[in-house]
Amino acid sequence: MTLINSQFLKVVKDEVGSKIEHRVNIFKTLNPDVSLIRLDSGDVVRPLPPCAVNALVKASKEMGNASTFKGRAPAQGYSFLIEAIAKHDFRSRKIKIDTDEIFINDGSKEDISGIGDILCRDNRVGVIDPVFQTYVESNVIGNRAGELGDSGQWSHVIYLKSGKETGFMPEFPVVRPDVIYLCYPNDPTGCVMTKPVLKSWVDYAIKNKILLLFDATYEAFITDPDIPHSIYEIKGARRVAIEFRSFSKSAGFTGLHCGYTVIPNDIEGYSFSAESSARLNTLWMRRQTIKSYAPSYIIQCAAASLYTEEGRREIRDNVNYYMENASVLRQALQRAGFNFWGGENSPYLWVESPTGSSWDLFDRLLNTCHILSSPGERFGPRGKGFVRLSAFANQSKVILAASRLSELDM
């Protein structure tokens, strides 16, 4: 009899998803001719930048020619892409990241959820709440989360308190986790960490021997020059932090999948009895050779094209487009008198429901404004009372959404 990983039974139902679907179905039945404006998505709508398309076409043709065909990619990724990343994303900010510390991947979700493979199951995990649910769910199925309590929180996960009182900045936990996930600019709140705050977390991690998993997926959306783009801008971070980056949102690669993970050689991990230690970088390299591949040559070529002068300009245009959307939404929310966070250094806006119920605001936006939003419960129990609006939408629709939003009388 084949035994299953019964942890899966704990996450097999997506209750919030079903609740949203139910409401949307009713709306569509009652309003068959109305088209909804989707501001609920983390997926992009703008096409790939021309540099990436050109690179894909060129590389595809190379793959069709015996003299330029490429079979298996090097396990860590092609050096032309790794070199471009090291130069433009790190050396340009005076950060020293060696090329053997960068692993190209098929999209950051795979590595964020896969990193648990190299960590002991007994590590206790700390997350902010609300949070991107992959951090939690990958630990549920990895048997690190314990049981789901009535509060919606998992018994073995350490939740870092983070509410509107602190502008959604997390507080240091009472019980020490072994691993902490941080995501800035944050999904879903859109908040960012200043350099002093990020430094306090790096210092805390060094002092308490904690591994930080820093998700910088949205760094390209930072507009404020004082906000760090990489955790490695903080001294000492090389000893305690892994960073995840992605081309998904900045360059519209959600349909291509490419990102990278930085694992500095300075991070050591220990076996349970502490009698052996190993570099996490070495373990991850081995994990990749057993379980994964670097992305295809053509997609790595597309990613490398983003670092050319033309590519960087096209990414800026892309980011600016979405940030204009965010600005339009901000102004509308202000006019309507909402409390909200984000949208300045992030494509996400986190809006407080005047009644304290996410679902009230979700329903109001759906039925009055014909806007689909993400209820805060999608991001954990502490998301209750908020909805997330996303700037990843067509500008004409965002302008229409904004005009309806600004007239909303809650």
Question: Among residue numbers 239 through 278, which ones bind a second copy (CB under 8 A)?
Answer: 252, 254-257, 267, 269-272, 274, 276-278
Residue of 155, 164, 167, 168 lying closest to 128 (CA atoms): 168
The phi, psi pair for 233, rounded to 5°, reads -70, -15
Residue of 386, 288, 374 lying closest to 76 (CA atoms): 288
CB 157 within 8 A of CB 125: yes
Selected from 71, 92, 174, 226, the binder of a second copy by CB under 8 A is: 71
CB 260 within 8 A of CB 104: yes
Least Å distance between CB 301 and a second copy? 11
Question: Among residue numbers 2 through 21, which ones bind a second copy (CB under 8 A)?
Answer: 2-6, 8-9, 11-12
Provide the residue count of the chain: 410
Selected from 104, 145, 158, 179, the binder of a second copy by CB under 8 A is: 179
Is 64 a binding residue for a second copy by CB under 8 A? The answer is: yes
Is 296 a binding residue for a second copy by CB under 8 A? The answer is: yes
Only segment of 205-213, 219-227, 326-334, 364-372 that touches a second copy (CB under 8 A): 205-213
Q: Peptide bond before 130: cis, by omega within 30 degrees of 0?
A: yes
CB 86 within 8 A of CB 99: yes
Which CB, 24 or 278, lies closer to a second copy?
278
- Please enumerate in sequence order all residues whose Cβ is within 8 A of that of 349, keeping only pairs 6 or more positions apart, or say none: 190, 326, 329, 330, 333, 340, 341, 342, 343, 388, 389, 390, 391
Question: Among residue numbers 138 through 167, which ones bind a second copy (CB under 8 A)?
Answer: 138, 141
Is 348 a binding residue for a second copy by CB under 8 A? The answer is: no
Report the distance separating Cα 304 and Cα 221, nearest Å. Answer: 19
Least Å distance between CB 407 and a second copy? 29
- Please enumerate in sequence order all residues whose Cβ is within 8 A of that of 343, keeping only pairs 6 or more positions apart, or say none: 190, 326, 327, 329, 330, 349, 391
Selected from 23, 36, 43, 152, the binder of a second copy by CB under 8 A is: 43
Q: Which two tokens stand for residue 134?
A: 């992959």
Question: Residue 2 gets which letter from DSSP?
Answer: P
Only segment of 48-56, 80-88, 151-159, 361-369 that touches a second copy (CB under 8 A): 48-56
Least Å distance between CB 62 and a second copy? 9
Residues 302-341, mask of contacts with a second copy (x by CB under 8 A): ----------------------------------------
Selected from 295, 342, 347, 380, the binder of a second copy by CB under 8 A is: 295
The three-state secondary structure class of 322 is helix
CB 114 within 8 A of CB 292: yes
Only segment of 54-62, 214-222, 352-360, 368-376 that touches a second copy (CB under 8 A): 54-62
Is 293 a binding residue for a second copy by CB under 8 A? The answer is: yes
Is 36 a binding residue for a second copy by CB under 8 A? The answer is: no
- Please enumerate in sequence order all residues whose Cβ is within 8 A of that of 197, keeping only pairs 6 or more positions apart, or say none: 169
Question: Among residue numbers 99 through 118, which ones bind a second copy (CB under 8 A)?
Answer: 106-107, 109-110, 113-114, 117-118
Is 399 a binding residue for a second copy by CB under 8 A? The answer is: no
Only segment of 86-94, 280-288, 318-326, 343-351 that touches a second copy (CB under 8 A): 280-288
Selected from 19, 23, 83, 134, the binder of a second copy by CB under 8 A is: 134
Least Å distance between CB 133 and a second copy? 8
Residue of 103, 54, 46 lying closest to 316 (CA atoms): 46
Least Å distance between CB 317 and a second copy? 13
Which CB, 220 or 408, lies closer to a second copy?
220
Is 216 a binding residue for a second copy by CB under 8 A? The answer is: no
Selected from 18, 22, 31, 47, the binder of a second copy by CB under 8 A is: 47
Please return the burial class of 395, using the count of CB atoms within 10 Å of its CB with bins 0-12, 13-18 and 19+.
Answer: middle
Cα–Cα distance list, 292 to 20, 87, 101 (Å): 34, 25, 17
Which CB, 43 or 83, lies closer to a second copy?
43
Which CB, 1 or 174, lies closer to a second copy?
1
Q: Which residues pair with 262 in a beta bridge?
A: 102, 243
Question: Among residue numbers 352 through 371, which ones bind a second copy (CB under 8 A)?
Answer: none
Q: How many CB atoms lie within 10 A of CB 198?
A: 23
Is 174 a binding residue for a second copy by CB under 8 A? The answer is: no
